[in-house]
Chain A
Amino acid sequence: MPRMALSHMETAFLFALFTSVVLGITTKRTDAERLRYGVQCFAYFILALFGIGWLMYFGHG
């Protein structure tokens, strides 16, 4: 099994992507709703990633 060493950004992006896909599939009833919810989840993940990242940056001074 090859080794993989991703950065925090890459890891969080992949985690957000796969989690959003499954959340979109499993929580809504129509394909349009699933797509919209999946994209929405992914956008929130990325927003939180950058938002909390900057918050920690300023929090540490």
Chain B
Amino acid sequence: MTEAQATPQPVTAWLPAVAAAWIIPGAGHFLLRRPGRGVLVFVSVTTMFLIGLMMRGPMFQPQGGDLLTMLIYYGGFASHIASGALYFITVALGYNQPDVAGHVYDYGSKFLVGAGLLNVLAMVDVHEIATGKKS
């Protein structure tokens, strides 16, 4: 076990980088001087999100009901939030695609959710780099 793993890092050591990674995909890696990885994360997450929008994927909103419905809608909403500024700007600009039947809309929805989930992975990676668990 390394010294960094044995000693818990203060929140201030990783919070700014993780917050930056959340707000702008890839920004956390940039802050930690990993620009190559930052660019790849930014391009991957942003392109996936934009493709989802261009395919007119619907945005999930928290919705009650049976367990599976709640899981899908709350989970989908959480993944949208994980996309950070991409989601907030999209909503602020009035994007409001209704959930209609059709395979293209469905693919779009998966891209929007997938972009958020990939950004969660990037945020975890930033946290591990900032706390010294990873280079």
Chain A interfacial positions (CB closer than 8 Å to B): 1-6, 8, 11, 14-15, 18-19, 21-23, 25-26, 29
Contacts and interface: CB of A to CB of B under 8 A. Distances in A.
10 contacts: A3-B55, A5-B104, A6-B51, A6-B107, A11-B55, A11-B107, A11-B111, A14-B48, A18-B118, A26-B124
A19 to B, nearest CB: 7
Q: Which of A4, A8, A14 has the most CB of B within 10 A?
A: A4
Contacts of A8: 103, 107
Contact of A22 (B41, B51, B54, B103): B41
Interface in B96-119: 103-104, 107, 110-111, 114, 118
Given A1-B53, A5-B55, A18-B48, A25 B122 contact: yes
Contacts of B45: 18, 22
A32 B121 CA distance: 19
B40 interface: yes
Interface of B: 37, 40-41, 44-45, 47-48, 51, 53-56, 95, 103-104, 107, 110-111, 114, 118, 121-122, 124-125, 134-135
Given A2-B54, A6-B51, A23-B121, 9 more contacts: A3-B56, A5-B55, A5-B104, A6-B55, A15-B111, A18-B47, A22-B41, A22-B118, A22-B122
Contacts of A1: 53-54, 95
Contacts of A5: 55, 104
A23 B114 CA distance: 12
Contacts of A26: 121-122, 124-125
